[in-house]
């Protein structure tokens, strides 16, 4: 097979990879695994997370089992964009954890970064505790190159868990919490418990 231009192989294509699922399914672990592999490939990686999420560490992206890499906190989508543009040319991979908690036009910002050759990896909740799509996450999945939907283990029966259930009272959708506030459950146990 012949291509019209040899430059074909030299182009830098951007991409958007989405890692979604309920809490405790290993989203951040998968995000950090991909970030780590990029570093091994000698690419410059930046990890961002919402400033709302200070559950484990203000400066590091941390999984529930305490694996961590240094990260920057962002207020909103525009803040993230500015930070990437602030060191333009030096960033190859942008990894974003807990993307559902970042306010602003994340879909637009991710699309723009891809258009400009950045590999964008996002991790986040696909559904809230009411089992409804979390904000604009669905739009992000729609424009992604790759969607990875992970499952957790149901706390009550051990089946695959697709949903996040809130264990404590409160109606606010954005209530950042850990194992004491939320658990992963299968459909059967979501409806039963
Ligand atoms: Zn179950």
CATH number assigned to the domain comprising residue 74 = 3.40.50.300
Query: What pLDDT does residue 85 have?
Result: 96
Strands (E), the chain: 15-21, 45-50, 60-62, 68-70, 72-74, 93-96, 119-125, 146-149, 152-153, 160-161, 163-166, 182-185
Residue 111 belongs to some domain of the structure: yes
Residues with a known catalytic role: 98
Residue 97 belongs to some domain of the structure: yes
Query: What pLDDT does residue 175 have?
Result: 64
Query: What pLDDT does residue 169 have?
Result: 77
Mean pLDDT computed over 174-178: 67
In whole angstroms, give the CA distance from residue 32 to residue 101.
Answer: 18
- Quick one: DSSP state of residue 19? E
pLDDT digits (tens, 9 = 90+) for 112-170: 999 999 999 999 999 999 999 999 999 999 999 999 999 999 999 999 999 999 998 76
Ligand 1 centroid from CA 8, angstroms: 49
Residue 22 belongs to some domain of the structure: yes
pTM for this prediction:
0.87
Query: What pLDDT does residue 163 have?
Result: 98
Per-residue pLDDT for 63 more than 90? no
Per-residue pLDDT for 9 more than 60? no
Residue 183 belongs to some domain of the structure: no
Contact indicator for 78, 102 with CB cutoff of 8 Å: no
Residue 170 belongs to some domain of the structure: no
* Domain enclosing residue 73, as ranges: 11-151
Residue 73 belongs to some domain of the structure: yes
Ligand 1 centroid from CA 185, angstroms: 5
Mean pLDDT computed over 1-24: 78
Residue 188 belongs to some domain of the structure: no
Query: What pLDDT does residue 70 have?
Result: 87
Number of domains in the chain: 1
Ligand 1 centroid from CA 186, angstroms: 4
Ligand 1 centroid from CA 182, angstroms: 14
Surface-to-core class of residue 24, CB atoms within 10 Å of its CB (0-12 exposed, 13-18 middle, 19+ buried): buried
Residue 4 belongs to some domain of the structure: no
């Amino acid at each position: 097979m012949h291509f019209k231009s040899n430059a074909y192989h030299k182009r830098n294509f951007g991409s958007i990879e989405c890692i979604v699922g309920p809490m405790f399914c290993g989203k951040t672990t998968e995000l950090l695994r991909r970030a780590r592999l990029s570093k091994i490939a000698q690419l410059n990686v930046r990890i961002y997370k919402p400033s709302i999420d200070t559950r484990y560490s203000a400066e590091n992206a941390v999984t529930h089992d305490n694996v961590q890499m240094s990260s920057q906190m962002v207020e909103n989508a525009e803040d993230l964009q500015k930070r990437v543009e602030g060191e333009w040319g030096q960033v190859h991979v942008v990894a974003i954890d807990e993307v559902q908690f970042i306010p602003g036009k994340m879909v637009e910002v991710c699309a723009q970064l891809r258009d400009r050759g950045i590999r964008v990896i996002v991790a986040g909740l696909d559904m809230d505790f009411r089992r409804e799509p979390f904000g604009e996450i669905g739009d992000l999945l729609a424009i992604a190159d790759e969607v990875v939907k992970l499952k957790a283990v149901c706390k009550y029966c051990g089946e695959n868990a697709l949903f996040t259930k809130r264990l404590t009272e409160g109606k606010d959708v954005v209530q950042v919490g850990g194992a004491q506030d939320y658990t992963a459950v299968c459909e059967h146990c979501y409806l039963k418990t």
